Structure 1
Amino acid sequence: MEKITADKYIFHKNCFCCKHCKKKLSMHNYAPLHGEFYCIFHYQQLFRRKGNYDEGFGHAQHKNQWLLRNTADVVHDESEA
């Protein structure tokens, strides 16, 4: 049985399909998102225009994981200016 490896997942060739339409995928026509695989058409239709990939899948927004600089630690003395 022929196997395909995509984003560290191993599939039987016949099992590598779009989550939305079930069309067979190849190494040249898929887009991954959170361990799910889509044909390019459905990936763009379902996700590209929306821009917020995380919340749609119940994940915390990625931007909330960024470290914010603690501005309370920065002291500005306007008298020195």
Structure 2
Amino acid sequence: MAFSGSQQKCIACEKTVYIAEMISTNGVVYHNTCFRCNHCNGKLALSNYSTLDGVLYCKPHFEQILKEKGGASLKHSTSLGKQNELNRSPSKVSALFSGTQDKCAACKKTVYPLEK
């Protein structure tokens, strides 16, 4: 049986992204190798990037561009904003390890399969 990839495409190169090489942020999927700063082409991590109008930047270049453009009226997000991550649904991989999404009616805590 051959492993079939996900149907998700990398936003940068538009090729299929397999789970082992996937980075997903704000609902957008990238290959590990495509997750780079638009200005210096430096490799980014989920802990050290920012986006401006959907374009990826490293922290130093993001701050530089924000200063050049005035920054007040621009739509941007940073990796420090965890609110989007809390509101999004779990990925397929994390669902394999996190149990169920069922909640106890009395205490609202997660109900695990062995507790059912």
- Please indicate the TM-score interval, normalised by the length of the shorter structure: 0.5 to 0.7
- Ranges in structure 1 where 5+ consecutive residues have no aligned partner: 55-81
Q: Which position in structure 1 is the counterpart of 2:33?
A: 14
* Shift in alpha-carbon separation, 1:18–1:53, aligned structure 2, 3 A: farther
Q: Which position in structure 2 is the counterpart of 1:51?
A: 71
Return the alpha-carbon distance in structure 1 between the equivalents of residues 54 and 45 of structure 2: 16
Q: Which position in structure 1 is the counterpart of 2:52?
A: 33
Which SS does the other structure have where 1:18 is aligned?
coil
Root mean square deviation, CA, Å:
1.7
Return the alpha-carbon distance in structure 2 between the equivalents of residues 7 and 25 of structure 1: 15
Which SS does the other structure have where 1:38 is aligned?
strand
Confirm or deny: 8 A CA contact 1:47 1:53 kept in the other structure.
Answer: no
Return the alpha-carbon distance in structure 2 between the equivalents of residues 3 and 17 of structure 1: 13
Q: So what's the TM-score if we normalise by structure 2?
A: 0.42
1:23 aligns with 2:23: no
- Ranges in structure 2 where 5+ consecutive residues have no aligned partner: 1-19, 75-116
Structure 1 segments (4+ residues) deviating >4 Å: none
More helix by share: 1
